[in-house]
């Protein structure tokens, strides 16, 4: 029998092979799965302390800062690519994200990206690819 079968008789792909399938996770855009990388994009963000839409809250909600010359407050979800602008200090990034993109799998995740299994990460990445079409 194959050594790739686990105790339940299911095919178990070794981590090294699985990692090869996940080359897409090495691109710049996919690094945005991680909060710290999203937070780094908030240079020049017009809202800070005392606001609901601080850089930290925006990054936690999956947004990256994508300003234009005329709109310094443009933010885009790295996952579903939903772009929002016209933020106001009291806007809650999570609520706005859910309201404008309810089908985004990232905003409805129940655990931190760092806690996902390889299989869950691959599944999530496949969900993300649906937004590219």
Does residue 91 belong to any structural domain of this protein?
Answer: yes
Per-residue pLDDT, 54: 98
Interval 55-101: pLDDT, tens: 999 999 999 999 999 999 999 999 999 999 999 999 999 999 999 99
What CATH number did the domain enclosing 73 receive? 1.10.1170.10
**Contact indicator for 65, 58 with CB cutoff of 8 Å:** yes
Does residue 17 belong to any structural domain of this protein?
Answer: no
Does residue 62 belong to any structural domain of this protein?
Answer: yes
Does residue 12 belong to any structural domain of this protein?
Answer: no
Averaged over 20-24, what is the pLDDT?
Answer: 46
Most confident of 18-22, 40-44, 115-119: 40-44
Cα–Cα dist 56/49, whole Å: 10
Cα–Cα dist 4/48, whole Å: 51
Does residue 74 belong to any structural domain of this protein?
Answer: yes
**pTM summary value:** 0.77
pLDDT at 14 over 50: no
Does residue 15 belong to any structural domain of this protein?
Answer: no
Could you tell me where the DSSP H helices lie in the chain?
Answer: 15-21, 35-39, 55-60, 93-100, 118-130
Q: CA Rg, the chain, in Å? A: 18
How far does the chain reach from its first CA to its final CA, in angstroms? 40
Does residue 9 belong to any structural domain of this protein?
Answer: no
Does residue 10 belong to any structural domain of this protein?
Answer: no
pLDDT at 105 over 60: yes
Cα separation values, 5 from 20, 22, 100, 110, 118, Å = 19, 21, 43, 29, 17
The number of domains in the chain is 1
Residue 62 structural domain = 30-130
């Amino acid at each position: 029998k194959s050594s790739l079968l686990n105790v339940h008789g299911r095919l178990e792909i070794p981590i090294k092979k699985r990692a090869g399938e996940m080359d897409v996770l090495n691109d710049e855009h996919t690094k945005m799965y991680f909060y710290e990388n999203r937070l780094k994009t908030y240079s020049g963000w017009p809202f800070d302390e005392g606001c609901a839409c601080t850089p930290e809250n925006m990054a936690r909600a999956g947004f990256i800062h994508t300003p234009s010359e005329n709109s310094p407050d443009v933010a885009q979800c790295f996952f579903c690519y939903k772009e929002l602008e016209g933020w106001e200090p009291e806007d809650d990034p999570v609520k706005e994200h859910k309201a404008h993109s309810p089908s985004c799998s990232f905003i409805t995740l129940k655990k931190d990206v760092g806690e996902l299994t390889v299989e869950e990460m691959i599944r999530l990445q496949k969900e993300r690819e649906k937004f590219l079409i």
